[in-house]
């Protein structure tokens, strides 16, 4: 969790945090090979759209480059403008190619299923809010309240712990009462935690009075709003494209692009 990552940052360089994913990935691969059934279709299928892969990767890379470097290079800089133009041209080209290719990287027909489209839109909106809150929260704790990295990680730990406890309960409730009402309740709870921080947080340290009461509210919202869109989008799909639909939902959750350590983490 965040405390383990913070311990790595304080003990060594911040870049070593990314190696924490390696053993998790290896264990996941082994568990997948052990417990997941392999399904193969007998008929031959056309090769995946490799050109579409190149188009999408180039478009997203150009867009990320323009957004990340725009502040340093200047938004009117030729490099930034060219990157935006490339993204604006390559993304429609990818969409058009996906419409007619027999084995597209992204089956756009999935978005004709209303519940799938709504679930992915909800996942995108919530993820933008969540990742922004995590980044701003860490920067606030370390830069304004001058917490150490480990202390800041301990301060945000109640949120993921609460989310881990709430997630299974949210799944059971959604099976019983439906996805929509549970997801709305989770979003409102998460918003309440953010509003608590917005109103009560000042430059003066007040972890017990301000930060800690908001952490479980954020955790409850996170525990509901992260797994529910995935379940909702998958439940709307037939078995064949279910894995592809799950991949689309995970892609709809934009993570943070890290170009360097936050203030105080260099080294």
The lowest-confidence range among 13-17, 83-87, 156-160, 260-264 is 260-264
More confident residue, 245 or 121: 121
Task: Read off the pLDDT band of 230 (50, 70, 90).
Answer: confident
CA 256 from chain center: how many Å?
8
The lowest-confidence range among 148-152, 205-209, 219-223, 256-260 is 256-260
CB 244 within 8 A of CB 107: yes
Average pLDDT over residues 215-229: 89
The lowest-confidence range among 175-189, 220-234, 238-252 is 238-252
pTM equals: 0.70
Task: Read off the pLDDT band of 37 (50, 70, 90).
Answer: low
């Amino acid at each position: 969790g965040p405390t383990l990552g913070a311990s790595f940052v304080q003990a060594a360089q911040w870049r070593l945090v990314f190696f924490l994913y390696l053993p998790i990935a290896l264990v996941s691969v082994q568990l997948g090979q052990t417990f997941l059934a392999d399904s193969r279709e007998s008929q031959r299928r056309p090769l995946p759209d490799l050109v579409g892969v190149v188009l999408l990767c180039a478009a997203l890379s150009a867009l990320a480059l323009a957004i990340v470097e725009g502040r340093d290079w200047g938004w009117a800089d030729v490099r930034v403008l060219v990157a935006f133009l490339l993204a604006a041209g390559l993304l429609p080209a990818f969409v058009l190619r996906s419409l007619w290719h027999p084995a597209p990287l992204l089956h756009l027909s999935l978005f004709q299923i209303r519940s799938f489209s709504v679930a992915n839109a909800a996942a995108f909106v919530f993820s933008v809010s969540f990742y922004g809150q995590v980044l701003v929260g860490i920067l606030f704790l370390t830069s304004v309240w001058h917490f150490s990295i480990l202390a800041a990680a301990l301060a945000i730990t109640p949120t993921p712990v609460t989310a881990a406890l709430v997630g299974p309960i949210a799944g059971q409730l959604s099976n019983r009462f439906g996805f929509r009402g549970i997801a709305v309740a989770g979003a409102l709870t998460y918003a309440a935690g953010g509003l608590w921080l917005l109103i009560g947080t000042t430059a003066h340290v007040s972890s017990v009075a301000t930060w800690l009461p908001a952490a479980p509210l954020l955790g409850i919202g996170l525990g509901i709003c992260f797994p529910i869109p995935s379940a909702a989008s998958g439940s709307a799909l037939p078995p064949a494209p279910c894995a592809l639909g799950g991949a689309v939902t995970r892609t709809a959750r934009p993570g943070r692009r890290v170009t360097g350590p936050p203030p105080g983490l260099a080294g």
